[in-house]
Amino acid sequence: MGGCLEAMKPEILLSQTTFKDAREYIKKNVREYHEVEPGYKIFDVHIIGVPPLYVGVDGERLIFPYTKPCHGTFVVKVPGGAEIARLRARQK
């Protein structure tokens, strides 16, 4: 896991899944979600996969897919900080 993300002690909502299942999980379970392009960076990790890729916002937290080359895709929840405003601003 990226050092920065790991230090944030993310809550793991979905473990060792596919990027498609991660996409469906966010779409079904997170009320506010934004489409991002492949390679979009949150903290020190890239969102990896085939469009559409979604990043969710739940209060002050971000929910997004994190893909590890050896272990598949995880859906993680972390404090969003300034990343939430950056995510919302790009939709306008």
Token look-up 């598949």 returns 72
Is the Cβ of residue 39 or residue 79 nearer to another protein in the bound state? 39
Instruction: State the residue for tokens 């390679």.
Output: 39
Instruction: Give the whole-angstrom CA distance, residue 35 versus residue 77.
Output: 17
Q: State the nearest-atom distance from the C-beta of 60 to another protein, in Å.
A: 26
The answer to whether 52 and 81 have CB atoms below 8 angstroms apart is no
Q: Which is nearer to another protein, 38 or 81 (CB)?
A: 38
52 binds another protein (CB under 8 A): no
Which of 10/49 has CB closer to another protein? Answer: 49
Instruction: Out of 48, 58, 61, 83, point to the residue binding another protein (CB under 8 A).
Output: 48
- The CA distance from 7 to 26, in Å, is 23
- Is residue 18 within the footprint of another protein (CB under 8 A)? yes
SS3 category, 7: helix
Return residues touching another protein (CB under 8 A). Answer: 2, 18-19, 37-39, 41, 44-46, 48-51, 67-73
